[in-house]
Structure 1
Amino acid sequence: MVIVEFVVVPLGERSLSRYVAEVVKLLESKGVKYQLTPMSTIIEVPTVKDAFAVIEEAHELMFKLGAERVSTTIRIDDRRDKERKMEDKVKSVMEKVRGG
């Protein structure tokens, strides 16, 4: 699995929650596993190609919602030596925090 963090920002907007809500609806409609954070959205998809496809849809969605300019930032964690998921990364850190 590929873990991807992305931020889609319709520039010039003061409040982004309605835009973020529409992105979440998009992810849910596509069955994409996601984690919403205060600053970004993280998704878990099989390939980078899948990530780009869904992020492109989210980017274009901003224009459909009335944005005139959109900025999108993407960070990709693509590890191929072993299978892991979002929860695995968090669990690994928390075990170290607790001395495990």
Structure 2
Amino acid sequence: MALLDITVIPLGAGGSGLSAWVAGLERLLEESGLSFRLNDMGTIVEGSADELFEIGRKLHEHCFGAEVARVYTVIKIDDRRDKQVAIGDKVASVEARKAAPDK
């Protein structure tokens, strides 16, 4: 599995709030069946690299419409193939190291 960190920003959508747009993107993620977690700066999605590229495109395209002619999307993908990774694994690893005595 791989992890996708995505932030989608519709430009010129009127106003500075984006929660309505984010809610629409979250519905698409729910429909995809992929595991995901919203955070304050974007969303983390778990899946195969192919699934992640596909959902990234869908999320980007979703914002185009009558109100929006420009969308800025930031995507980072961590595709680790030497072991299984899941959402939260990296944070858990850091927390475990913080809790361990110094060596």
TM-score, normalised to structure 2, is: 0.88
Alpha-carbon distance in 2 for matches of 1:65, 1:96:
49
Q: Which residue of 2 aligns with 1:79?
A: 80
- Alpha-carbon displacement from aligned partner over 1:15-60 (angstroms, at most 9, x marks no partner): 11000000101000111110101001110012x2211111111111
Stretches of 4+ aligned residues off by more than 2 angstroms: none
RMSD after superposition: 1.4
Alpha-carbon distance in 2 for matches of 1:33, 1:66:
29
In structure 2, the CA distance between the partners of 1:65 and 1:89, relative to structure 1 (3 Å rule), is: farther
Q: Which residue of 2 aligns with 1:53?
A: 54
* Identity %, equivalent residues: 38
Question: Structure 2 stretches of 5 or more lacking a match?
Answer: none
Letter in 2 for 1:71: Y
SS at match of 1:86: coil
TM-score, normalised to structure 1, is: 0.91
Alpha-carbon distance in 1 for matches of 2:10, 2:83:
36
After superposition, residues 6-21 of structure 1 pair within 5 angstroms as: 6-13=6-13, 14-21=16-23
Alpha-carbon distance in 2 for matches of 1:77, 1:39:
17
Question: Structure 1 stretches of 5 or more lacking a match?
Answer: none
Write 1 or 2 for the structure with the bigger share of helix: 1
Q: How many residues are aligned here? A: 99
